[in-house]
Amino acid sequence: MKLLIVESPTKSKTLAQYLGDDFEVVSCNGHIRDLPKSKMGIDIEHDFKPQYVIPTKKRKTVTNLKKIAAKAKTVILAVDEDREGEAIAWHLEQILESVNNPQFQRIAFHEITKEAIQNALKNPRDIDMNLVNAQQARRILDRLVGYELSPLLWKKLVKGLSAGRVQSPAVRLIVEREREIKKFKPEEYWSIEAELEQQTPLLSSRTPSTVIPHGVRDDKGDVRDDKGVFTVRLSKIDDKTLKKLDIKNKEQADEIVKNLEKTEYTVTDIRKKQTMKNPFPPYTTSTLQQAASRVLNFSARQTMFIAQQLYETGLISYPRTDSLNLASAFINQAQQFITNEYGNRYTYPRHFKTKSKLAQEAHEAIRPTSAINSPEKVEKGLEKKFLKLYELIWRQAVASQMNPAKIDKTSVDISANNYMLRATGSVIKFDGWLKLYPQKLGEKILPELSINEILNCIQIIPAQHFTEPPPRYSEARLVKTLEEYGIGRPSTYAPIISTILSRNYVIKEGGRFKPTEMGMRVNDLLTKHFPNIVDYKFTAKMEDRLDAIAQGEKDQKTVLSNFYKPFKQTLMQKEEQIEKQFKDEKTDKTCPQCGKDLVIKMGRFGKFLACTGFPDCRYTKSLEQKSSDQPNDKTGVKCPQCKEGEFIKKRTRKGKFFYGCSIFPKCKNALWYEPTGDTCEKCGSLLVKFGKDEKIKCSNKECK
């Protein structure tokens, strides 16, 4: 009997379909060993040797694996092909090698298909210790920073805080953007457009009685806008190209409008050019997270969860990659599909070159395992969110193998005395890959014009604008910026975002990241006293060193030592230098329980009132903060208990979200899950949404 081990139950079920009776496929449910929670678990004096333990929740899994491995002659380690997967494989071998001394084989594949599995089984390999060492080095670095720097934050700021090697630069990005926004001073500027009309709305090549409606082509392929009306924008004054802020106020704008109302409009230049618009490359982990955030409003974490499930059920290739490479077999299959569906003129086999020097070309971009499996073919067995992400991946990969779109672009210059106005338009002559993206590019059609043609001015449209500050980071923009700075790697973007949110260093407001007061305080302390920890270049260089370990070009112990020695030295110096950053603020309020004075304290989740009689009196009260550190999202659902307030989203002092009545403490009604507003048909209690898929259940625990 052969034992084949994967990370997840879903993956084990899919693989079992392709293997015979002589295989037993089981799941280890991720990592089976880790550093201990109760101590650092790293022997710094002996080359940073990690002290791995089996977590309590994994002991049952390990016992079961040992029991099955005792009957197996061969143990096949089929976990994911990345650093984390390689580390899991190594830990499994370390634990199971003492059980009946089985033969170990490491296999890897980019997609879960019968062909890929059979090919992997024919070509087993040894565990790649360079990848294992790179994973270990990352884990050790993060533990060193977390366990040594966090206690300093407890002493100098607030107990319970933590600092992260990669998360801290991400918080810095968000804090710096917030300060840019606060410093920003808007400037007024004006734009001027004119609506023009041809003196005759007829094509010169046609009889006077023939009118070509808007967007309709005649038999020569010419296009005519409705009545020859179109809009132009002021672009030059006295041959000087206008910049955004050149027209600064209403007085200037009014003067220009006055002049434009008196002048004649003449076509002086027409430029026509056919351009080719190429398709985008297939997705990498980063670009998939960005697209899913923009198009589907998915978080990075949600995107990776769904993508992993799609991979484990055999629908897409491995979703953690920074390669743009596509297998020849997929390209050929895509060509056949495109030909069958749209015809030969749409096919264009294309290979994309990966810009990143670190991307492994043996790996692939994210793609469907079969181009033939269009979203319509697979929708029956998929939940709505899963289908949406699959469709995004399928379209991008298949469209990458289609012909460019051909677009006719027209640019028209119109003189009006010393002013020049410009209009641009485009017509899709051949849609090519846009066939799969019908809403990707609209058509703005100009009328057929001729040089020296005189035009009528219908109206002039001045518009006031104000410059806007740079926007807060969305998830898509933050992932892109982290990638541009070289902070983190494809598999770490989602955990970075989850961590800074769970630590309450940032919150989401309108889908964008905003730093909390605590996030700004932690950032300021680290920036001032531990600049390397939040320095973008330093963090990127450390990522490069980890990549070099993975390539076998650098030694793990040397990299760790070079980081730790100066870090520890700085830590010891700052222990004495940094003063307590937040002191209790006196108030004129007294404790409603014992009568002693109340003070304002700072906690992990913002400021709160606390009794000076602590620990004898434990009275506390959270303070609502204008900075939205406390979410207070309205649900619009009336509280059925008091019939006065409504449920709002709140956060406990430990950071858990719940839904409580808005007139607390008068009404203390609360729910752990978001109420829908509907009531249960059986007991009349409120229904609530729970879980990632927002399933509905009754809030009454006794109701079945």
Q: Which residues are catalytic?
A: 318
Cα–Cα distance measured from residue 261 to residue 194, given in angstroms and rounded to the nearest whole number:
10
Is residue 127 within 8 Å of residue 89, measured between CB atoms? yes
Cα–Cα distance between 89 and 275 in angstroms, integer?
Answer: 51
DSSP state of 402: B
- How many residues are recorded in the chain? 704
Left (φ > 0), alpha (ψ -120 to 50) or beta: where does 260 sit? alpha
Pick from 572, 272, 639: nearest CA to 450: 272
CA atoms within 13 A on the CB side of 103: 7
Write the DSSP symbol of residue 205: T
Coil, strand or helix at 646: strand
Q: Which residues contact 524 (CB under 8 A, 6 or more apart)?
A: 175
Task: Check: CB of residue 15 under 8 Å from CB of residue 78.
Answer: yes
Beta-carbon contacts of residue 16 (< 8 Å; ≥ 6 apart): 23, 25
Provide the 8-state DSSP code for 685: P
From CA 428, how far away is CA 444, in angstroms rounded? 10
Which residues does residue 409 pair with via DSSP β-bridges, in sequence order? 273, 426
Helices (H), 70-128: 83-96, 114-122
SS3 681: coil
Residue 664, amino acid:
F
Tell which residue, 542, 532, 540, 539, has the closest CA to residue 574. Answer: 532
Beta strands 229-237 and 240-241 are antiparallel
DSSP state of 445: P
Distance (Å, rounded) from C-alpha 430 to C-alpha 236? 33
Cα dihedral 71, 76, 79, 82 in deg (nearest 10): 140
Dist CA 430 CA 346 (whole Å): 10
Burial class from Cβ neighbours inside 10 Å (0-12, 13-18, 19+) for residue 367 reads buried
What does the alpha-carbon distance between residue 81 and residue 362 come to, in Å, rounded to a whole number?
A: 11
- Cβ proximity of 441 and 405 under 8 Å: yes
Residue 521's nearest CA partner among 143, 172, 167 is 172
Alpha carbon distance, N-terminus to C-terminus of the chain = 44
Which residue from 16, 655, 99 is spatially nearest to 313, judged by alpha carbons?
Answer: 16
